[in-house]
Amino acid sequence: MSERKLKLALSVYGVGGPGHHSLWKDPRIPKNASIDIDWYIARAKQAEAALFDALFIVDSQFINATYPAHYLNRLEPLTLLSAVATHTKHLGLIGTASSTYNSPFNLARRFGSLDQISHGRAGWNVVTSFDTGTSRNYGLEEHLDYATRYGRALEAVQVIRGLWDSYEDDAFVADVENDLFLDPTKLHALNHRGENFRVDGPLNLSRSPQGQPVIFQAGISEEGKTLAGEVAEGIYAPGEDFESAVEYYADVKGRLAAHGRHWDDLVILVGATPVIASTDAEAHDRAREIYESDNDFDRKLAAFGRGFGAYDFSQHDLDAPFPDVAALADKGGRTRSQAIIERAREEKLTLRQVVEESAQYKPSPFIGSAQTVADTIEKWFLGRAADGLNLRARTPDDIDSFTEEVLPILQKRGLFRTEYEAETLRGNLGLKVPENRYAVDTDASALVEA
């Protein structure tokens, strides 16, 4: 393994995601940014010029009129990233797709195609679908419960990885003289029979230079961390404060050994929205201004309902005790929702108090002058709170501020690369290329026979 270096991903929210609902009003943001492929390509080129590891595209498949502007009108991630792939060379391309509402074969083929188009730069952010309303867009009356969704996610990843191994790397001999395009002994059907899926295979697509797309995942629940320990190669982690981030980092990485994995087999990126100014005081003033631009109670009330299956809390008396919505938590964002319910019950809070507390101003650790932000990043990186950051940049100018002011400090300290190490996402993240399971079996058989 080479010397440990900071990893950076860039998330873009077009006209404004959670916590930045009013971004569409900023004159620097085109009103159609979320569906403008040229805007995404330009952001990807910014990230690649700054030597970032990846561009990360979030997604969901349910909306109502209260959702953030970006959610209301945005491109499908793999279509978007396939276009971006043709305008970049090194930048990883990570798309979000639900294991609950997609078939494994379809996901394997789509992400495998992106991996081939990009010459080995694809990543899959595995989600189990936070929005309960998604079920009704797929012909189902009920959203699957939490445990079922995570069990399905684990099996889906296992099936998809099996499909990605359908061809051994030397399967296509293309021997004109002997009229042999494919060595049929190097093609393998999966024949999976599981609790959630029956998939024969094989997949009609070969492996890319990085072997398989990189598996990313996010989750703070016990099920989420268990899934991460078993299959994730990248994690999008909460980053509210240093102490809790260190605890989360050690917890998740500590689960790897049980699955025969090492600490370096998983890269943990904490979410960060840096605000940079000439002085720390100016940066904090700006961060507060950004918060106040979205500090509307009705909007916060609507956004609060998303964690409970897009439930409409406006039907309740705001100053009455917090309503009994425990039955909604298991189908939505269970971990946070249950914590909210428990606290409201213990402290006898009203609905208004709970909403205001949940959306109160909490300044990011990554606010200040360029020097202060660089110092904070160094502390988190060397202190094993993170292997890197998933930057949620509001505007192109914010990307420039970070890359032109903060990154040179980190590079001077030897914490961030000065050139790309590889042309694949795995190579730049320092992750090993997974061996094809069938080639490994063949090698093992040969040794036994020998």
- What is the per-residue pLDDT across 5-49, written as a single tens digit (0 to 9) for each? 999 999 998 999 888 889 999 999 999 999 999 999 999 999 999
Burial class (CB in 10 A: 0-12, 13-18, 19+), 301: buried
Compute the distance between CA of residue 432 and CA of residue 265 in angstroms, rounded to an integer: 8
Report which DSSP code applies to 134.
G
- Quick one: pLDDT band at residue 305, thresholds 50, 70, 90? confident
What are the structure tokens assigned to 322, written together? 């917090």
Residue percentage of the chain with pLDDT more than 70: 96
Share of the chain above pLDDT 90, in %: 74
Domains of the chain: 7-279+363-438 (3.20.20.30), 296-358 (no CATH)
The 10s digit of each residue's pLDDT in 238-252 is: 888 999 999 999 999
Q: What is the DSSP letter of 144?
A: P
State pLDDT tens for residues 250-292. 999 999 999 999 999 999 999 999 999 999 999 999 999 999 9
User: What pLDDT does 448 receive?
Assistant: 45
Mean pLDDT for 152-177 is 97
Q: What is the mean pLDDT of residues 282-304?
A: 91
Distances (CA, A) of 95 to 64, 290, 326, 434: 22, 27, 32, 20
Q: Give the pLDDT score at 338.
A: 84
Is pLDDT at 444 greater than 70 in this prediction?
Answer: no
pLDDT grade, residue 152 (50/70/90)? Answer: very high
Report pLDDT for 447: 44
Contact 356, 300 (CB under 8 A): yes
- pLDDT, tens digit, for every residue of 321-352? 999 888 776 655 667 788 888 888 889 999 99
The one-character DSSP state at 72 is: H
Tens of pLDDT, residues 194-230: 999 999 999 999 999 999 999 999 878 888 899 999 9
Q: What is the pLDDT of residues 369-421, one digit of tens each?
A: 999 999 999 999 999 999 999 999 999 999 999 999 999 999 999 999 999 99
